[in-house]
A and B are shown apart, each in its own frame.
Chain A
Amino acid sequence: MDEISALFHGFSVILTPMNMVLMLVGIVLGVLIGVLPGLGGANGVAILLPLTFTMSPTSAIIMLSCIYWGALFGGAITSILFNIPGEPWSVATTFDGYPMAQQGRAGQALTAAFTSSFIGAFVAVVMITFLAPLVAKFALKFGPPEYFAVYLLTFCSFVGMGKGSPFKILASMAIGFALAAVGMDTVTGQLRLTFGFPDLMRGFDFLIGVIGLFGIGEILLSMEEGLAFNGKSAKINPRVVLETWKTLPKYWITSIRSSLVGIWMGITPGGATPASFMSYGLAKKMSKDGAKFGTGQIEGVIAPETAAHAAGTSALLPMLALGIPGSPTAAVLLGGLLIWGLQPGPLLFVEQKDFVWGLIASMYLGNLVGLIVVLTTVPLFASILRIPFSIIAPVIVVICAIGAYTVHNAMLDIWFMLVFGVVGYLFKKLDYPLAPLVLALVLGDKAEDSFRQAMLVSQGELGILWSNPLVGTISTLAILLLLWPLISRLIARVRPPKRESFAEEQPVD
């Protein structure tokens, strides 16, 4: 078992006092980010990314991934205690979590949520440990056409699996690609689409986009709704935790099913949000208490939380093994890798063994530390939400501005952040998905490079995307997913569709 010994090597890399401190700091910051409205996994990590520039890549990724785990945990706190989902993927947790808190069972709901988050993440990390090296080994054989086909598959699956208007998904994606094209052309060195502004030569950094779209946009949305927090008190004591843990094994089928749903949705860029809804829907259908869902069933908390964490964790697999992130947050981590001078992709497993296995080991440890931290500090974090919005809002805007500035030490970026914020607000209100925009902004250059290299090989023939069985299969799958909205409409015409109970509540993330 090469993987096991590599994993133990990873543990030996990360088990230093400094890394442990960073891990703890990361988790606490992450939970804080998850609890505050307007700061989420993606933009929280983006804002804190510059803090890690002076660290070694391994320490940096440990801290950042711990922020990510913390944010995943934190989302559950607000949805259970305040009925406000701090993150889109915890919307489904509110359905049963908040009723439980209303009945005075907040402690049980929180324990169940945190524990199942941990289980979901753990299953996904085990999967990554054994699958990622295999995928990476396989991907070493990829040439430019294969890579472009994988990129195509990534973006087409947004269209095929997303809900809502396919045109809006396409538009959001193409805007990302268009912004990515601004600046210096990596192949010819020509300036593109700068329209004579020298400041545009740098191009648009996706971190600015993430901070603006998710951070400022979210603040504007929260403000529009006129937020007033009205939370249930959180009391967690060891007795409640132990008693809840005793009941959890009963729901092992739900946990396993939700983990699998989450892993699948995480690897394919479906994301944590659809995964949590899908898992909730499945649990509702399959549980014998299904009719009581929505009234405070502990199973209704377990299902979405397990799936969301499994998905959030598995999104790191394609990022590590292929260099293609499965979620906006994974995209930010990928951006971090590039900044620290690491080339994401299959070669990472060969050339940067310490880093990769350190990261995977830190996933195990980080989730465990995270579980302990959140179980012990919930009341503290819940009290943060009682700070009035008129203090929180300006502080978050300030944090976003600092984050945007530190990316390139450029004042102009703060202005761009504001523009992205307004765009994010409009797009969210009009149901344009933001994830494809961010991923296209990150991957634009690389997708274009592999496209141009593939075209150079074939002298402009698109047929190269079907030149061998491997690339042909990926491309065909991509085209199928791209046309899925049309195909499913045709199927529906031939055969009346079955009603899906949760289809309407499934936003594109």
Chain B
Amino acid sequence: MQDNETPGDTPRSGVATYVIEGVVAFAVLLLGIVVLQGSWKLGSRWTSDGPGSGYFPFYIGLILCIAGIGIFFQTVFGKNRNTEIFVDSEQLKRVLQVLVPAIVYVLVVQFVGLYVASAIYIAGFMILLGHYSPLKSILTAVIINVIFFLMFEVWFKVPLFKGSLDPLAFLGY
């Protein structure tokens, strides 16, 4: 990928936007093909008692394919294709700093439930990324989750996910 002249001092490096555009357009096309194939199997034509289950989705798949091809040609071969960097490494790092912990968080929720996982997540985020003292972070996280607990379980009576291990079972909710 070519480097772009950006106003900053350090040259930004990364994938050009039009490459990502092309990949996303291709994904749209693929989705279209999957929908087409799926609805074809369901019966996308006129059956004895009216339009089949796949009748409407078939056209949706068709639109997806057309749009995917259209975007691909517009963005990759078009006159003003966007050669700017999509994300530079610094930006990507920051995005992953949020995304990866979020994925781990959801994984942890699966086992220990929303409240405990949320407390660990908020405290961990504050300590590791915000550089707060552990005591302050844990206190904040616990307070926030106690508020959530009161709000959902006690006041509005909406039970949240307790996880397969259910560490909060002793509270009786």
Contact = CB atoms under 8 A, between A and B. Distances in A.
Interface of A: 50-51, 53-54, 165, 167-168, 170-171, 173-175, 177-178, 181, 185, 187-188, 190, 192-193, 195, 216, 219-220, 223-226, 388, 390-391, 393-395, 397-398, 401-402, 405-406, 409, 411, 414-415, 418, 421-422, 425-427, 429-430, 432, 448, 451-452, 455-456, 460
Contacts of A220: 95, 98-99
A311 B4 CA distance: 40
Given A398-B118, A411-B109, A177 B94 contact: no
B121 A170 contact: no
B50 A171 contact: no
B156 interface: yes
Nearest to A393: B98
A421 B101 CA distance: 14
A177 B60 contact: yes
Contacts of A193: 35, 38-39, 42, 57
Interface residues of B, number: 66
Given A54-B156, A430-B17, 13 more contacts: A51-B152, A167-B71, A173-B63, A174-B61, A192-B39, A195-B38, A224-B94, A224-B95, A394-B122, A397-B121, A402-B152, A421-B99, A455-B51
Contact of B94 (A192, A216, A226): A226
Q: Which 9 A-B pairs have the closest CB atoms?
A: A390-B130, A167-B70, A171-B67, A394-B125, A170-B67, A174-B63, A398-B118, A181-B57, A448-B56
A223 B161 contact: no
Contact of B121 (A390, A394, A409, A429): A394
Given A448-B56, A452-B50, A414 B156 contact: no
B57 A53 contact: no
Contacts of B152: 51, 402, 406
Nearest to A388: B130
A187 B55 CA distance: 12
Contacts of A422: 99
Nearest to A216: B102
Given A168-B67, A220-B99, A397 B105 contact: yes
B160 to A, nearest CB: 6
A178 B60 contact: yes
B25 to A, nearest CB: 8
A418 B102 contact: yes
Nearest to A173: B63
B168 interface: no
A219 B98 contact: yes
A430 B106 contact: no
A54 B157 contact: yes
Contact of A452 (B56, B91, B94, B114): B56
Interface string B57-87: 1001101101110110011000000000011
Contacts of B74: 165, 167
Nearest to A456: B50
A393 B125 CA distance: 9
Interface string B84-124: 00110001001101110111011001100010001001100
A267 to B, nearest CB: 26
Given A54-B157, A398-B121, A406-B160, A414 B97 contact: no
Please report whether the interface of chain A is mostly helix, strand, loop or mixed according to DSSP: helix
25 contacts: A170-B66, A171-B25, A174-B64, A177-B60, A178-B57, A181-B57, A181-B60, A190-B42, A193-B42, A220-B95, A223-B95, A391-B130, A394-B121, A394-B125, A398-B114, A398-B122, A402-B114, A405-B161, A409-B161, A411-B110, A421-B102, A430-B24, A455-B50, A456-B50, A460-B51
B32 A174 contact: yes
Contacts of B125: 390-391, 393-394
A49 to B, nearest CB: 11
A390 B129 contact: yes
A59 to B, nearest CB: 12
B111 to A, nearest CB: 11
Contact of B102 (A54, A397, A426): A397
Most buried by A among B20, B28, B31, B39: B28
Contacts of A406: 152, 158, 160
Contacts of B98: 219-220, 223, 393, 397
B101 to A, nearest CB: 8
B64 A178 contact: yes
Given A50-B158, A167-B71, A414 B109 contact: yes
Contacts of B144: 395, 398
Nearest to A188: B53
B126 interface: yes
A192 B38 contact: yes
A168 B94 contact: no
A51 B105 CA distance: 23
Contacts of A165: 70-71, 74-75
Contacts of A409: 159, 161
B46 interface: yes
Contacts of A175: 28, 31, 64
B12 to A, nearest CB: 13
A26 to B, nearest CB: 14
